[in-house]
Structure 1
Amino acid sequence: MSRYRNALPQLAGAAFISDGGLETTLIYHRGVELPLFAAFVLIDDEEGRRELFDYYRGYAEMAGRHRRGLVLESPTWRANADWGARLGYDAAALAAINRDGVGLMEEIRARYETPHSPMVISACVGPRGDGYIADSRMSAAEAADYHAAQIATFAGTAADMVSAFTLNYVEEAIGVVRAAQAHAMPVVISFTLETDGHLPSGQPLAEAIRETDAATAGGPHYYMINCAHPTHFEHVLDTQGADDARWTTRIRGLRANASCRSHAELDAATELDEGDPQDLGARYRGLRARLPALAVVGGCCGTDHRHVEAICTAFGH
């Protein structure tokens, strides 16, 4: 049963962490094969489930040490119809795997949550297509219809919220929000950005946030940025005047990449670029003035417990 769906504690200004780069950690540090970069396939396998539990356990213990809240993102980023079909999962199998993904987060919460470390279960949604390329774009209506099945499944679980990560064009974001609204699920939208600070579609981040808010009556509970290095977007957060700055207060979460490389360079890389955990932590600290509402911090591709520990320490309380 959902614990925080009606009152997400990270909205009250509490400091929360999230995990790092799940897929890159499993592939490069643990030697786990993930077909099509899909971690959800591990839920079906006893050994894979143990790998996932051990991965999340490390972050749950970190949250406890630092007396921080933790947003538990289910390993379901790829568990939608198109990616599922490519991996041999039909609609019924996908619904089961999405429920089980949230169930795994329940197990982590039941074992590690404390009064000083509340744990919010976030049901993770990913893009229909490639997270880096805005090529086959849907209308907002098409996107709402496409994502409705996965979000409807999550609505019947203990998930406290839905988070859509690595979205690269605004129509898909609007569709996800509308699908979540239809099922009374709190929803968070996380855009990915290129090295110029724009979405892969070419749209500026500020415009994407404003357009999504306008089309959904301010539907997202907050926004995040993920799968981009701070050097890619720091400059777009420097605004002039109160009216221009207002959009930055909608950003409450950040999950940056370890690497400064572009998406194209990361796609072509054969080795993991781990960056510098301490530098990344310092950059997060430096972003606090630009993102006054920032409350949820974690990592994305190339990051692991070292990066999130450094972020957590540098970010302060």
Structure 2
Amino acid sequence: MEPSNLLDGGEWVTDGGLETDLLFNHGVDLPEFASFPLIETEEGSTLLKTYYGEYAAIAAAAGVGLIVETPTWRANPDWGAILGYDATSLDRANRAAVALAHGVADSSAVSRTRVSGVVGPRGDGYVAAGADADEAADYHSAQVHSFAAEGVDLVHAMTMTEPAEAKGVVRAARAASLPVAISFTVETDGRLPDGSTLADAVAALEATDPADWYGVNCAHPTHVVAGLDGAEWQHKLAFFRPNASTMSHEELDAMEVLDSGDLGLLVESTTSMRQQTPALAVIGGCCGTDSRHVAALWGVPAAR
């Protein structure tokens, strides 16, 4: 399917803050903040299916499509090695994650579904450590090819902290003949961790390695609005997965209890943001959110 037709002009529900939901609301231990190892056990797989099922119910209630995004944000070589995964076992886990996502999509009551292979940053999700686009392409290519082998509809790189690594993911996706979305994260001032503006980050990719879609994740809507300037690039934003909290990334990292935020403010500020970003089509959540937050963003009853 051509990228221009993949989202077919419709609206799509995706999931919320998987890792924070499992950690704080379900008491699941996630070493290195990684959820993909859950795929290795029957208990873990069942938990993931139940989790995604809540968002399928939201999509059905809202009468929109469902994008099931794999639990693979940490499933890359560096983080995998810390968790005891080599290239072979990491390939197996990434493939299994895609298979699980397909199972969720196929068993849902939603008529329009897509499966997205999630790529996370090589390093910490909040720190811009510097990257080379060619090196990043090589680094992320194994995970992207695992996704392609299992038939994802698209690749979605989330929490990108700088344009260079994002370019690398786009190149890896192109080499695997897959459509790709790039979601940047921003600090409270609306800028990426490397200091770039959202406008500059999108422009950098558009100049050499344009993605099929852009988005923002792991930031409260009030933070994103600080980075909007009214220019045409805002019409390229299609994905949004906000944090529940208005705290900075540094403050959230230091928290030992979950800040589930002000739900009313989240809905109100997301609505305001959408008025400035009319192409937003895929709405879910990120840190601190669960299905209750996402249901509220879609104006339907909570699934839990």
2:42 counterpart of 1:51: no
What SS does the corresponding residue of 1:166 show, helix, strand or coil? strand
What's the offset of the Cα at 1:17?
Answer: 1.2
What's the offset of the Cα at 1:61?
Answer: 1.2
Query: Does the Cα contact within 8 Å between 2:66 and 2:110 map onto a contact in 1?
Result: no
In structure 2, relative to structure 1, the CA distance for the partners of 1:157 and 1:256 (3 Å cut) is same
Q: Show the counterpart of 1:208.
A: 201
Q: Show the counterpart of 1:172.
A: 165
What SS does the corresponding residue of 2:190 show, helix, strand or coil? coil
2:222 counterpart of 1:231: yes
2:287 counterpart of 1:293: no
- Unaligned residue ranges in structure 1 (runs of 5+): 240-244
Query: Does the Cα contact within 8 Å between 1:5 and 1:161 map onto a contact in 2?
Result: no
Query: Does the Cα contact within 8 Å between 1:174 and 1:212 map onto a contact in 2?
Result: yes
Q: What TM-score does the superposition give when structure 1 sets the normalisation length?
A: 0.92
What's the offset of the Cα at 1:46?
Answer: 1.0
Query: Does the Cα contact within 8 Å between 2:11 and 2:282 map onto a contact in 1?
Result: yes
Query: Does the Cα contact within 8 Å between 2:258 and 2:288 map onto a contact in 1?
Result: yes
Query: Does the Cα contact within 8 Å between 1:223 and 1:252 map onto a contact in 2?
Result: yes
Q: Show the counterpart of 1:186.
A: 179
Query: Does the Cα contact within 8 Å between 2:140 and 2:172 map onto a contact in 1?
Result: yes
Moved over 6 A (4+): none
Q: 1:146 aligns with which of 100, 119, 139?
A: 139
Q: 2:128 aligns with which of 121, 131, 134?
A: 134
Q: Show the counterpart of 2:116.
A: 122
What's the offset of the Cα at 1:119?
Answer: 1.1
Q: Show the counterpart of 1:18.
A: 14
Q: Show the counterpart of 1:242.
A: none
Query: Does the Cα contact within 8 Å between 1:278 and 1:307 map onto a contact in 2?
Result: no
Q: Deviations over 1:148-183 (max 9, x none)?
A: 111111111121000000010110000000111111
The one-letter amino acid paired with 1:24 is T
What's the offset of the Cα at 1:6?
Answer: 5.5
Q: What TM-score does the superposition give when structure 2 sets the normalisation length?
A: 0.96
How far apart, in 2, do the equivalents of 1:6 and 1:305 lie? 28
* 1:1-317 equivalences in 2 (<5 Å): 8-10=5-7, 12-115=8-111, 118-135=112-129, 137-216=130-209, 218=210, 220-239=211-230, 245-313=231-299
What's the offset of the Cα at 1:272?
Answer: 0.4
> How many residues were matched structurally?
300
What's the offset of the Cα at 1:24?
Answer: 0.4
Q: Deviations over 1:80-132 (max 9, x none)?
A: 000000000000000000000000011111111433xx111000000000000
Q: Deviations over 1:42-63 (max 9, x none)?
A: 0001111111010001111111
How far apart, in 2, do the equivalents of 1:114 and 1:310 lie? 19
How far apart, in 2, do the equivalents of 1:8 and 1:203 lie? 30
What SS does the corresponding residue of 1:299 show, helix, strand or coil? coil
How far apart, in 1, do the equivalents of 2:41 and 2:229 lie? 46
- Unaligned residue ranges in structure 2 (runs of 5+): none
Q: Deviations over 1:269-309 (max 9, x none)?
A: 11100002232112111112210111111110000111101
The one-letter amino acid paired with 1:106 is H
What's the offset of the Cα at 1:138?
Answer: 2.1
In structure 2, relative to structure 1, the CA distance for the partners of 1:295 and 1:129 (3 Å cut) is same
What's the offset of the Cα at 1:213?
Answer: 1.2
